[in-house]
Structure 1
Amino acid sequence: MLPLAEIARVDATVDESWRSPVADAVAAAWGVAPGAARWKRSSATHVFVVPPDADPRGVLYLRFVPASLRTVRDLEVPARLLASWASTGSTVAPLPSVAGRLVETVATGLGDMHATAVLSAPGEELELDDLTSPLAQSWGAALARLHRDAPPLTSADQPPPLDLAALERDPELQCAARVVLAATDRADHPRGTLHGDFELDNMRWAEGRPTAFDSDEARTGPFIEDIAAAVRDLVGGSPGRVEHPALLAAFLTGYRGVRPLGYDEVSALQLHGAAVAVRLLVAIAHLEDEPVPDEPSWSVDLRASLVVHRQGLRARVLAATVAR
């Protein structure tokens, strides 16, 4: 998650038509005309969309982040994975820049930005309420194909180790996080290249099949943790209870139709869900609970939403240690 101050910094450059000179500088590296890119959202990266009438290639998504916060490698490894997975139809392919690179470092009015671009994934976004058992089964099969087909990551490709020092302001949580991660390590479940965030809001659906467009959280880890990250809305936040058991069962059935999934792995789903929560908590550990002076209303609202989200994640991690 980008710091709220960084989101505000780019937001201040966005005009009433959702255009920004920062996005224009990034877009130029892909041969996109000034004024075509429009702000879409800012979360892990800043995302601007180029509408279909502005570029002959169709709808494009430009994603960029300050060079001070991320390295080229941080964007390059996920882009290479997207290209690999796209050959099987599971993801959209990254779009090379005019210079032929998957990642560009662009000088902007707000400093250097590392940037990538992808074409729009075909289809529409589905909400949880739209999900049926056949669609959940297709979703599980799609994640299994990613696990089956992903090339292994080298040691140089791995993201930095998770730094639990980020949680030091909450010693109880920090201790619980260590317990959860140690338990997942001891479980010694099958491992490989993970997508990292194969949730419904990171894919589009066409003819009953999903296509993913984001692999920023890719790393090596236990496959069951990737499943836990994908289905956390199906499992829900109540320890020992699954909120959508039929949909979860369909997802797992679809997964097992492509690659093996042991019952010992499934029995550890909520434990690995707590490990996912630890990672999310580290990602937003920089967030302050209280608004800062002169903070815009959208930032106040986003901060409040993230604080509530953090409380739910914290409860999930603590509950996992009680259950052990």
Structure 2
Amino acid sequence: MLPLSEIARIDATVDADWRSPVADTVAAAWGIAPGAARWKRSSATHVFVVPPDVDPRGVMYLRFVPASLRTVRHLEGPARLLSAWAAAGGGTVAPVPSRAGRLVETVPTLLGDVHATAVPAAPGVERELEDLTPRLAESWGAALAHLHRDAPPLGADDEPPPVDLDALERDPAVQQAARAVLAEVDRAGHPRGTLHGDFELDNMRWSDGVPTAFDADEARTGPFVEDIAAAVRDLVGDSPGHVEQPALLAAFLTGYRGVRPLGDDEESALELHSAAVAVRLLVAIAHVGDDTVADEPAWSRDLRASLVAHRRGLRARVLAATVGR
């Protein structure tokens, strides 16, 4: 999650039509005309969309992050992985090379250097949880299993930094619980490989009942079942020990097993791995309390409040996983 202060910096450059000179500078590296890219959102990266009928390559998404917050390799690894997955037969879009033929560009802008990449729009439509049927959930599970089966191993330079539990030092109870959760994950020794990291419904589009993902920002090596836990958070819900959508979760797992094995011990550890996912998310948003925004606008206050509420739910899941251990 980008700092709120960084999102505010971009917000200050965006005009009433959602254009930004920062995005125009990034867009130029892909031969996109000034004023074409429009701000869509900022979360893990800043995302600007090039709408239909603007570029002959079709709808594209420019995604960039300040060089002060990420290194080039943090974008290059996911970009190469998307390319490999797309070449293996689908499941993801393939990044769009820049005019120089690179998947990632470092671009000087009026706000400093940024690392940027571009992807085409994934085919199809977005699906909300209420749109999901057992058949679609099965297809979703199968798609994640295909990515696990077909992903190349990540090189050492492509791995993200280890999760920094020092970020939780202001909450000693959660920090201790987080250490216990990650230690238990290591002891469990479930099958490992390259993970997508965020194969949720809002990170894909659907065409003919098949999903296509459009980013791999959270890719890393880890237990496959943890990637499942990250994907199905909306099916599991916010209450530890309870599954809100058991039929859809069962369909997802059925689809997954149709492509690659999933042991009963892995399925029974979903609760543990959901807690491990929560640990990572807690670390990712730990900066919110210290992230000050001058003359904070309403959108920033609302986003901050949403993140604080989200943190409470994540905290409860991590603590619940260690009760009685």
Please tell me the TM-score bracket, short chain as reference.
Answer: over 0.9
Q: Does 1:241 align with 2:254?
A: no
> Could you say what secondary structure the match of 2:33 adopts?
coil
Spell out the pairing of 1:29-68 with structure 2 (5 A cutoff).
Answer: 29-68=29-68
Output the CA distance in 1 between the equivalents of 2:209 and 2:15.
38
> Could you say what secondary structure the match of 1:303 adopts?
helix
Shift in CA distance, 45/290, structure 1 to aligned 2, threshold 3 Å: closer
> Could you say what secondary structure the match of 1:54 adopts?
coil
Output the CA distance in 2 between the equivalents of 1:182 and 1:3.
29
Output the CA distance in 2 between the equivalents of 1:180 and 1:173.
10
The residue identity in structure 1 corresponding to 2:72 is V
The residue identity in structure 2 corresponding to 1:166 is A
> Could you say what secondary structure the match of 1:44 adopts?
coil
Shift in CA distance, 110/304, structure 1 to aligned 2, threshold 3 Å: same
Contact 1:291–1:303 at 8 Å: present in 2 too? no
Output the CA distance in 2 between the equivalents of 1:315 and 1:191.
26
The residue identity in structure 1 corresponding to 2:28 is A
Q: Does 1:103 align with 2:104?
A: yes
1:83-112, Cα deviation, whole Å (9 max, x unpaired): 011121110000000000000000100000
Output the CA distance in 2 between the equivalents of 1:202 and 1:156.
25
Spell out the pairing of 1:42-191 with structure 2 (5 A cutoff).
Answer: 42-87=42-87, 88-191=89-192
> Could you say what secondary structure the match of 2:101 adopts?
coil
Contact 2:72–2:104 at 8 Å: present in 1 too? yes
Name the counterpart of 2:20: 20
Output the CA distance in 2 between the equivalents of 1:175 and 1:294.
36
Spell out the pairing of 1:188-199 with structure 2 (5 A cutoff).
Answer: 188-199=189-200
Output the CA distance in 1 between the equivalents of 2:150 and 2:32.
33
Contact 2:30–2:98 at 8 Å: present in 1 too? yes
The residue identity in structure 2 corresponding to 1:69 is L
Name the counterpart of 1:295: 296
The residue identity in structure 2 corresponding to 1:248 is L
The residue identity in structure 2 corresponding to 1:94 is P
Contact 1:289–1:303 at 8 Å: present in 2 too? no
Name the counterpart of 1:319: 320
Spell out the pairing of 1:240-259 with structure 2 (5 A cutoff).
Answer: 240-259=241-260
TM-score by length of 2: 0.98
Structure 2: 5+ residue runs without aligned partners?
Answer: none
> Could you say what secondary structure the match of 1:64 adopts?
strand
Name the counterpart of 1:7: 7
CA RMSD of aligned residues (A): 1.0
Output the CA distance in 2 between the equivalents of 1:290 and 1:76.
27
Name the counterpart of 2:263: 262
Output the CA distance in 2 between the equivalents of 1:83 and 1:294.
42
Counting matched residue pairs gives 324
Output the CA distance in 1 between the equivalents of 2:66 and 2:228.
30
Contact 1:65–1:114 at 8 Å: present in 2 too? yes
Structure 1: 5+ residue runs without aligned partners?
Answer: none
Percent identity (aligned): 80
Output the CA distance in 2 between the equivalents of 1:110 and 1:239.
42
The residue identity in structure 2 corresponding to 1:265 is E
Contact 2:8–2:293 at 8 Å: present in 1 too? no
Output the CA distance in 1 between the equivalents of 2:324 and 2:284.
25
Output the CA distance in 2 between the equivalents of 1:240 and 1:28.
50
Moved segments of 4+, more than 2 Å: 289-293
The residue identity in structure 1 corresponding to 2:142 is A
Name the counterpart of 2:225: 224
1:21-80, Cα deviation, whole Å (9 max, x unpaired): 000000000000000000000000000000111101100000000000000000000000
> Could you say what secondary structure the match of 1:288 adopts?
helix
The residue identity in structure 2 corresponding to 1:118 is V
Contact 1:61–1:120 at 8 Å: present in 2 too? yes
Contact 2:4–2:292 at 8 Å: present in 1 too? no
